[in-house]
A and B are shown apart, each in its own frame.
Chain A
Amino acid sequence: MIELDINGTKRSVDAEADTPLLYVLRDHLAMNGAKFGCGLGQCGACTVMVDGEAVFSCMTPVSVLAGRKIRTIEGLGTVEQPGALQRAFIDEQAAQCGYCIAGMIMRAQALLEKNSSPSDAEIRRHMMPNLCRCGTHMRIVKAVRRAAQTMRAEADKPKSAGQT
Chain B
Amino acid sequence: MTARGVASFLILAAGVAATSWAADVAPTAKPAADQSMADSTLIARGAELAAIGNCASCHTHPEGKSFAGGRPIKTPFGTLYSTNITPDNETGIGKWSAEDFLRAMHDGVAPGRRNLYPAFPYDHFTRLTDNDVEAIYAFVMTREPVRLTAPPNQLAFPMNLRSALSVWKVLFLERGAYRPDPQQDAEWNRGAYLVEGLGHCGACHTPRNAMGAEEHTRDFDGGQSEGWDAPALNSSSPAPSAWTAEQLYAYLRQGRDENHGTAVGPMKPVVDNLSQVPESDVRAIARYVAWRMNRGQLVRVAATSSDSAQTVIGDGEAIFRGACASCHEAEASGGPIRSGRTVPLSLTTSVNAPDARNAIHIVLEGIWPDAGEKGAFMPPFEGAFTEQQLAALLGYVRSRYARGPAWSDLPKQVRAIMHTGQKQ
A and B touch in the complex (CB under 8 A): yes
Nearest Cβ on chain A to B324's Cβ, whole angstroms: 9
What residues of A have a CB within 8 angstroms of the CB of B384 in the complex?
50, 53, 55-56, 59-60, 64
Query: Provided the pairs A40-B327, A41-B366 are in contact, do residues A62 and B380 lie with their beta carbons within 8 angstroms?
Result: no
- How big is the A interface, by class? 20 to 34
- Binary interface encoding of chain A residues 2-42 relative to chain B, with 1 for a CB under 8 A from any of its CBs, else 0: 00000000000000011110000000000000000001111
* Most chain B CB inside 10 Å of its own CB: which residue of A18, A42, A53: A18
| CB-based contact B322/A20 at 8 Å | yes
Contacts of A60 in B (CB 8 A): 322-323, 384
Q: Tell me if B319 and A56 are in contact (CB < 8 A).
A: no
Known: A41-B366, A121-B63. A63 touches B383 (CB 8 A): no
Docked-complex contact A64 and B379, CB < 8 angstroms: no
In this assembly, does B382 line the interface, its C-beta being within 8 Å of a C-beta of chain A?
yes
Consensus secondary structure, chain B interface? loop
B75 to chain A, nearest CB (A): 24
**Count, chain B residues at interface, CB 8 A:** 24
In contact, A54 and B318 (Cβ under 8 angstroms): no
Within 8 Å by CB of B326, from A39, A53, A64, lies: A39
Contacts of B381 in A (CB 8 A): 55, 59
State whether the Cβ of A68 lies closer than 8 Å to any Cβ in chain B: yes
Tell me how far the C-beta of A4 lies from the nearest C-beta in chain B, rounded to whole angstroms: 14
User: Which residues in A have their C-beta under 8 angstroms from that of B386?
Assistant: 64, 68
Q: Are A41 and B318 in contact (CB under 8 A)?
A: no
8 Å CB interface, B298-319 against A: 315, 318-319
How far apart are the CA atoms of A64 and B322 in the complex, in Å?
A: 9
Contacting residues, chain B, for A83 (C-beta < 8 A) = none
Whether the pair B377, A42 counts as a contact (CB closer than 8 A) is yes
Say whether A18 contacts B322, CB under 8 Å: yes
Q: Mark B350-369, 1 if CB is under 8 A from A, else 0.
A: 00000000000000001000
Judge whether B321 is part of the interface by a CB distance below 8 angstroms. Answer: yes
Write out the residue numbers on chain A whose beta carbons fall within 8 Å of the beta carbon of B385.
64
Closest beta carbon of chain B to A3's beta carbon, Å: 16
Q: List A contacts of B315 (CB < 8 A).
A: 63
Chain B residue with Cβ nearest A60: B384
B254 within 8 A of A: no
Give B62 Cβ to nearest chain A Cβ, in Å.
Answer: 9
A118 CB within 8 Å of chain B: no
In the complex with contacts A20-B322, A40-B336, A64-B389 CB distance below 8 A: yes
A17 nearest in chain B by CB position: B318
Q: Which residues of A contact B325 (CB under 8 A)?
A: 18
Assembled-state Cα–Cα distance A50/B315 (Å): 19
Q: In the complex, which residues of chain B have a beta carbon less than 8 angstroms from the beta carbon of A19?
A: 322
Q: Are B319 and A54 in contact (CB under 8 A)?
A: no
Instruction: Indicate if A82 sits at the interface (CB-CB under 8 A).
Output: no
Contacts of A61 in B (CB 8 A): 318-319, 321-323
Give 19 new A-B contacts, CB below 8 A, not counting A59-B323, A59-B384, A64-B323.
Answer: A17-B321, A18-B318, A19-B322, A40-B326, A40-B379, A41-B378, A41-B379, A42-B379, A50-B384, A53-B382, A55-B381, A55-B383, A59-B379, A60-B384, A63-B318, A64-B322, A64-B385, A64-B386, A64-B389
Chain A positions within 8 Å of B, measured between CB atoms, are 17-20, 39-42, 50-51, 53-56, 59-64, 68, 110, 121, 129
For this complex, 21 residue pairs linking A to B, each with C-beta atoms less than 8 Å apart, are: A17-B318, A17-B321, A19-B322, A20-B323, A40-B337, A40-B377, A41-B380, A53-B382, A53-B383, A53-B384, A55-B383, A56-B379, A59-B323, A59-B379, A60-B323, A61-B319, A61-B321, A61-B322, A64-B384, A64-B385, A110-B383
